Amino acid sequence: MRLEFLFLGKTREAYLAAGIDDYRRRLANYAEVEVRVLKEIRPASKPEAQVRQEEGQALLAHLPPKALIVALDPGGRSLSSEELAGQLGVWQDGGRRQLIFLVGGALGLAPEILARAEFKLSLSRMTFTHEMARLLILEQLYRAFSIRAGSGYHK
């Protein structure tokens, strides 16, 4: 299975960047992993809707037609770690070989991205920065693969 993560802009906080890199390496024991950082759209004097639209267009341009798109969104499904592991199994058993996880910028994801996503995932009912969400999704996917493999990490 191939996991791709599309992020808008660099992770500025060094401790989060280090954590993202750590879990990217750990995940590589279970799947092929790629983290792609796209150019961030600077809000400057643009309206929020325009920024979100431009970010959406940038993300859409990098989505292959056959990949399963998972969008992180507060309105998405909230899963336990075990349920996420089960969902990964459903996708694998269903022949899904490429999963792309989309984490929006500070303003969230554009409506056209949410419409394109096959699965919308909420990390929590709490609000996290988009940079923290990057680390959390990588850690949770590592945890899910660990659950599936029966390793002791989950305990």
Query: pLDDT per residue over 2-33, tens digit each?
Result: 999 999 999 999 999 999 999 999 999 999 99
CATH of domain 2-154: 3.40.1280.10
Q: What's residue 48's pLDDT?
A: 85
Q: Give the Å distances, CA to CA, from 104 to 111, 130, 146.
A: 11, 7, 26
Do residues 128 and 136 lie in contact, with contact meaning Cβ atoms separated by under 8 Å? yes
Checking if the pLDDT of 153 tops 90, the result is no
Cβ-contact 29, 142 below 8 angstroms: no
pTM above 0.95, yes or no: no
pLDDT at 74: 93
The pLDDT score that the predictor gives to residue 43 is: 72
Q: What is the pLDDT of residues 61-106, one digit of tens each?
A: 999 989 999 999 999 999 999 999 999 999 999 999 999 999 988 8
Is 45 a residue whose pLDDT tops 80?
no
User: What does the pLDDT read at residue 91?
Assistant: 97
Question: Looking at the chain, how many residues does it have?
Answer: 155
Instruction: Write the DSSP assignment of 104-117 as a string of letters.
Output: -BTTB--HHHHHH-
pLDDT value for 152: 80
Task: Sketch the domain layout of the chain as residue ranges.
Answer: 2-154
